[in-house]
Structure formats: structure tokens, C-alpha cells
Chain A
Amino acid sequence: MSKYSVNSNGYYGRFGGQFVPEMLYPNVDNLKKVYQEILNSESFQKEYKQLLKEYVGRPTPLTYAKRMSAAYGTNIFLKREDCAHTGAHKINNAIGQILIAKQMGKTRIIAETGAGQHGVATATVCALVGMKCAVYMGEVDIQRQAPNVARMKMLGAEVIPAMTGNRTLKDATNEALRDWISNPEDTFYIIGSVVGPHPYPDMVAKLQSIISEETKWQFREQTGKDLPDYVMACIGGGSNAAGSFYNFLDDESVKLVAIEAAGLGLDTPDTAASIARGTEGIIHGSRTMLMQTDDGQIIEPYSISAGLDYPGVGPLHSFLAESGRATVLAATDQEALDAAFELTRLEGIIPALESAHALAGLKKIDFKSTDNVVVTVSGRGDKDMATYMDRFKL
């Protein structure tokens, strides 16, 4: 048992827990009782690993970024989640949770989505197994992310606009939770990140841990060395960061770096940096760092990246930051855009705006020429082309 593992009550240190109304308690409690057993079962592992290989296309490559390495005077490796089916790491989690839902006898799936990546991943796995799927998406995000909305619809999902609050990811999550309260018998809620009530943060982290499991052996195979010096990932809710860090948590020599979205800047109100600028609070069932007012009302965060503008962060990350195990940096919209452009021109990879925040972190660390640095490219930039076209005058 790692000291960074969740405890039996669902806490990482003082972060986490299960702050749900009694109406959700039976569902969440039931999931808590069975998830470990299902995840560890031979039949689940066999089906999950087979789908990851033959459907998702894993392992995703670990690419030595030669020109980037030269530019930064160090050794940079890219963990290529952009190469996964549907274009991002989100599918790893969706595949795992749909298998758990099936095992539990559920017949209807709900999910929340911001930029639409998790919604697309969920709609995809529902099509794959033939299950009914409803995706909640803020009405504002529906307007902003038309291609992903169309993808979900083509995949057979019902996209339900969240009309409350600011009509973005936070509100979509509220609506999905309300749906689950109203349909506790037949419905399984596939949460897209390491957030929500226990056991979701741990379950999602385990399902994303395939990222670091592969990185570990790929790095050894390619370099002959045991461990990288740095592992870096962007962090909104924190699922790709959790997956990228997971199998390195107990290798204390590996420096873990999470990069939040600073939006227009950490010293402005337009930011989504929950760890840097948030305070401790409770959102969507767990105690974590959170953007909120002095009265405990939740603040709508801002980032150019629709996948990072969540007001909270997974409780694991609050714990890793507080314990010092992870370093948390922040990158602004502009820094992320610059990093996206740089990766595209130096390596021929157009990253998602979320992933571009991780790449922007490279400029903030003084690397040695002998360092080995792994950066997770969590997704590809197709969905962000409208923003890139606008900002780069393409």
C-alpha cells in the first residue's frame, strides 16, 4: 500500500471523502464495495487490456522529441495519448467504467462533459457495447464545441444541455448528479476525471494508470535507464496527470510536475488554477482545493482550454501538492498557445490545448542536459483547430 493510496474511507490525507446526499449513498456505497474486486478480477483485466490493445490502439507511443530536446538542452520524451482512439486519454477510463457498469447489471449510462472529449469517449464505448447513453453538457459548451456534439450524436448519445449556472462543465456535472439521484436503479454515472465522491477518484486514477505503466517499460526499453527524472502533465480535474504519475508515486526520485491553467494570469480573476488560487472546500462529493468566494460559493473558473476550466481538482492532486510529492505550476492561455505552436513546428504534433499547458511547463523548469523528462500529450488538437485558426491567423 503506497502512502499516496486512498484510504478505506476514501481520503487522501484530509482530501476526498464521499459528500453525497443520502439519495446517492446506496449507489456510491455499492460501487465502493465492488469496484476493487471487479478491477482486480481476471475477467475484467483480460477484457479491459484486450480492448485497450485492439480497440484503443495501446500501447500509445513514447516518442523521443529530438528537436524539442535540442531546443531545451535536455532529453524530452512525449507520452502520446493523442494517438489513442477518439484522440485523448479519456477513452482509457470510459472503457474501464463501461465494463464495470455492465458487470453491475446497469443498462443506462450518463456522463458529463466540458470540451466534449469525455462525452465522445463515453458515447463511443456505449456504441461499442450497445448501451443507452445520455451526456450532459453546458449549453454554452454545446455552442462552443459543435464538432464534438455532432460526434456524440452520430455515436447515438443523447446530448442534454445543462441550462443552470454558467452552463459549462460544473453545471453539466451538477445535472448528471441530479440525473443519477433521479435514476438510481438502472443508471451508471461514468465520471470523466479523478473527481467526485469516493470511489471515483481512485477508480479513475487506476483506469488511467495504464499511461504510467506503459511509460515505465517504454522508457526502460528506449534508454536502458531505470526511471525518468521528471514526469509532467496538465491538470484540470487531473485524470491524465493521475494516470501519468500513478506508477511513479512511490519512486520518490521522479519529480512529478502538474501544470494548471492560469487563464489570463494567476493574479487575475480569470484563472482556473484551483491549487494555486483555490481554498479548501467541498465540490461534487469530495473535499479538495476549489475556486470559491469567501462565503463558500463556487466560482466559475476561466481557461482558454475547455478541458481545464473546472473549479475543483481531484483530491489526490490536492494531497500530492500539499505533501510536496508533486510540484504544481501554472501556464497562461498565451503560454499554452505558444507551446502548442512550438510542438507542432518542432515535432509535427498538434496537441490539444489542455496538453499544451503541460508543454508550457517545460519553460518553467531549469533542466540539466542529462535529465530525462516525460511530458504527457493528453490529446490531439483537432478539436481546438478553431481556436488555433483564430489565434495563429491560419
Chain B
Amino acid sequence: MTNNRIDSLFAQKKGLLSIYFTAGYPKLDDTMTVLTALQESGVDMVEIGMPFSDPLADGPVIQLASLNALNNGITIKKLFEQIKDMRKTITMPVILMGYINPVMHYGIEKFMADCQKVGVDGVIIPDLPFDEYIEHYKDMMDSYGIHYVPMIAPQSSDERIRYIDSKSAGFIYMVASAGITGNIKASLDTRTQYYQRIKALGLKNKAMIGFGIKDKASYEHACQNADGAIIGTAYIKNLTENGIAATKQFVSAIR
């Protein structure tokens, strides 16, 4: 398999910060501008959200950004056009995140081939179940050098987490607590217990914590318990309220 930027990053660094943003938002042609601003602000990795009309795992902030982006005219095809030359300037790992229906409609194999072509390193597809991925898509994705980033949640059993870990590469996306993006209710104590349970499993893969990470404190707490953290909703909020130019300020307030 080709050397994936995700693997190189995790081999070099800890306390990683990954930021999620929605493609085609705030304006249709902002995708590359936001991506560039995030790299210049020093984030380690990005997830570009591919908007879907019915994003089940997302709270109101990302739902609204998705809806606006769709109204702006974003499609998967358009996104690939926007990022086709990104590797001329973007050196950090790039992950595409979205729901299965639009990806399936685009054609899963074509999607993976295009990911490889433009230099995408991994995909997060929350509603493509792990078992479905293993059975139908793993070999194909491996052949294009694309990591499928699996999610685990506090309700996932040890057995299930070990199974997911054993079949995965890249990193595992630890959902911080039961909930949708931007709306996490669990206390820090409850989360710590869950993080410690995962630590005790001694997984082979690196792990990033996401959902409910919104500021310096939650970022640092996540970094104490995993290899890094993913921020989505809080950044989208900042983007909506303060624009792309405020990216640097947002990132430096976190670390």
C-alpha cells in the first residue's frame, strides 16, 4: 500500500488537532479558501464534510451549514473539481466525511478512485456500517490507498471495539459520548471513564476524539486521553459568525 499521509502524521506527532468544515460553505467556492486558512493556522488534519439532505448524526449547526451548502450548489462532483489541485499546496492529511447515499449515488468505486486522484487520504462515512464495509468495500478501498476511519461510541462493547481495531488502519474516531455533533451531554467524568476503558484495551490503532470538542479545555482533555481531537460544530459556528479570516484566531485559542 502507498504511504498514507494519515499514517505519517500519527507516526510523527501527538496532541493532534483536526478540524471539520462543510464543503461549499459559507459560499460555494470557499472550500479551498477554508482549507488553506486551516493549514496556515497550523491544524494537523482536516475533514471536509460532503453535505447530505438528511444528516442523521449531526446537530443543528452542521445541518444548517449542509443545507446552505446544498443550496449553494455543492455536489460531490463539484467538490472534487474544487480540490483537484489541492496537493500543490496542501500537505496535511485530508479526509472526506459524508453519508452513504450521495457517495453510493456517485459510485463508490469512482468515488475512491477520485479520492486517490486528488490526494484524499481517508473517508468517514458514519452510516456505512463497519461490517458492510469489511464485506463489500475494504479490499477496493485498500486498492486505492484510502483509509476507512471507523467510529466507536461509549455503548460499543469491548468485543466490538477490538474487532473494529483489528480490521482497521489509520485511526479510530472515538465519539466522545452518546449524542449528535455539537450536542454532548455526558459529564467530563463519564467521558474520562469511557476513555480509560478504551485505553485499557490497548488498541493497535491511534485514536482521535470527536463530538462535543469545542474549546481549549475539551481539546486538552481529549489529548490527555487519545492522540488528538476533532472539532466541527464550534468551527462552523465561528465560520458563520466571524468568517474565514477568523480561522487563525479560532485555532490559536485552542492551542
Contact = CB atoms under 8 A, between A and B. Distances in A.
B103 interface: yes
A173 B59 CA distance: 14
Interface string A175-219: 001100111110000000000000000000000000000000000
Contacts of A174: 54, 56
B175 to A, nearest CB: 6
A281 B105 contact: yes
B53 interface: yes
A348 interface: no
A296 interface: yes
A298 interface: yes
A26 B127 contact: no
B56 A297 contact: no
Interface residues of B, number: 40
A282 B101 contact: yes
A46 B26 CA distance: 58
B222 interface: no
Contacts of A296: 52, 101-106
A281 B104 contact: yes
Given A181-B180, A183-B178, A292 B54 contact: no
A226 interface: no
Contacts of B57: 21, 23, 178, 181
Contacts of A282: 100-101, 104, 127
- Residue of B54, B60, B63, B151 with highest tally of chain A CB at under 10 A: B54
Contacts of A281: 101, 104-105
Question: How many interface residues does chain A have, given as a range?
Answer: 20 to 34
Contacts of A297: 52-53, 70, 102
A357 interface: no
Contacts of B100: 19, 282
Nearest to B153: A23
A174 B55 CA distance: 8
A7 interface: no
A182 B180 contact: yes
A26 B156 contact: yes
A23 B178 contact: yes
Nearest to A281: B101
Interface string B151-173: 11101110010000000000000
A22 B104 contact: no
Interface string A12-32: 000001111111011100000
Interface in A126-184: 164-165, 170, 174, 177-178, 181-184
Nearest to B178: A184
Contacts of B130: 22, 25
B185 to A, nearest CB: 7
Given A22-B152, A27-B155, A170 B54 contact: yes
A78 interface: no
A120 interface: no
Interface string B43-57: 000000000111011
B178 A181 contact: yes
Interface string B4-32: 00000000000000000000000000000
Contacts of B103: 296
Contacts of B63: 164
Contact of A19 (B75, B127, B183): B127
Given A22-B126, A282-B104, A178 B151 contact: no
Interface of B: 52-54, 56-57, 59-60, 63, 67, 70, 75-77, 100-106, 126-130, 132, 150-153, 155-157, 160, 175, 178-180, 183, 185
Given A292-B101, A296-B102, 4 more contacts: A17-B129, A19-B129, A23-B179, A181-B57
Interface of A: 17-23, 25-27, 164-165, 170, 174, 177-178, 181-185, 281-285, 290, 292, 294-298
10 contacts: A20-B129, A23-B175, A23-B179, A26-B156, A164-B60, A182-B180, A184-B178, A281-B105, A284-B54, A285-B127
